[in-house]
Structure 1
Amino acid sequence: MPQLPGELEHRNGATCIPGGERPYYQALGNEEAVFKAAYRQGLSLLLKGPTGCGKTRFVEAMAHDLGRPLITVACHDDLTTADLVGRYLLRGDETVWVDGPLSHAVREGAICYLDEVVEARQDTTVVLHPLADHRRQLPIERLGVTLDAAPGFGLVVSYNPGYQSVLKDLKDSTRQRMVAIDFGFPATEVEEVIVTREASVTRSVAAELVRFGQAVRRLETGGLREVASTRVLIAAGRLVAEGLPMRDAALAAIAGPLTDDAVVSRGLAEMIDIYLAAPA
């Protein structure tokens, strides 16, 4: 029965091969040391933090430092166990087994990163349990086999606690199999350095954007889908780098993605006029 490993990987997971320049990541604390220690001990990791605070870039940087391929899966409501583990597919006149991204990572000794894991169905995430504990095994019921994780395999999952609900949360039995790292937004000076580098803008432009982003984070309103992340500040900076006025860049890259509420949008526009006013 021929196998076509990797085909589902391209459909359900993005692969990053080690080598080249290290993905830019500015450490905020001891998260790099914790990640590497857990990885060396074969422990799975749970990354918790708000959207756009750098969790994915952090994992990319760690995979680079450890010299391991990285397979990233963006989890969603319709993600099934078969999407992760694999399935039979028709190829001409025969039926072949095709590994999913998780099986591929287990066989190849790659790091598998499940981004926003709580978006996946709980019956899907249960398949992680024997991988996340001391067994480091992946049962594949359709094949009647159990895969032992190859040397170098690592399991990393992330989620945003701000979206927690009764229906979308990690089971305690899953959580307690993992080492947790909490992420937040960087301190002011660090965030300015990140925006300056990633958006290719001056430090003064980055400082204005960060000051505005922090003001948005202090707001208490139910109309915001999420607070202003470092990611949206970088996006605004990139628009400024292309010659867009600061106000237009902030409206398009920060205010627009954060809310669909007309009243909140007007409030953000007024804040932009205050914090990002063009010099007289």
Structure 2
Amino acid sequence: MHYTGTIYRPPAEAKTLLLQVTVGCSHDGCTFCSMYKDVPFRIEPIEQIEEDLQESRSVRPDAKRVYLVGGDPFVLSLERLKIIAQKIKEYLPQCETISMYARITNIKTKTTEELKELRSLGINYLYIGIETGHDETLTRIHKGNTADEAVEQCKRLEDAGIAYHGIYLNGLAGHSKGEISAFETAKLFNQLRPKSIGITSLILIPGTDLYQQKLNGEFVEATEFERVQELKYFIEHLETDTKVFANHVSMATPVIGKIPEDKPKMLKVLQDTIDDFDEDELRQYREQLRQL
């Protein structure tokens, strides 16, 4: 199998067959991200992909799920994705789901009819970094889309029958702006029907633009208490029927549950943290993190 650099995949894809179809991220401009800084974006040749599928068939002939590796493989054209999906079906006929990361801008370049065609070929689960519904923050981090554009494109996925997992980055708005970020992000998701929402907490990584902004005094990091309060505020205002996974290693207070039925239980866990822990105790957890 051909893999380049560090391979990133969502936690839910831990047992999934990983197929590299792109390297790096086509955008690679988000100020908080360091994942692909040293890996120029490229599209892998079909011959290599087919070679990897031949190898995959020898070890995982009954694979029911394939995850396409790369920062945003959904940037590929309809024709390219069709060829890849058809090759997967040829070599792994039991495959039911092809998943990958996608940007809002990737969806925008495809018509609803094209999305439906991709869905019919098994491309039926996307991971989307929504990050926040707060437009001021989206502009500052150079995300490349607005909150309204995220809603519009995710609705098009829903119309096409493509399921998706939205990712919310807790703490991204910075000190004193967590409440407005939480409210605007809940407002965004309440207009949608995501299969699930994953929540991680901002880690400032040396070498990123956002880390440098902190050093320059241009960005003030949210406190640990602010992050817990932001998450609590988000869950309080989240109404859409979905699952929430705020159990990433970056979360000092992990919570998981279905909305709306598990909301009271989740809020109690967060309130208990606010009542029982101080800032230093919560900060100590973050400072001990060695990997994400």
- Relative to the length of structure 1, the TM-score reads 0.37
Which one has the largest radius of gyration? 1
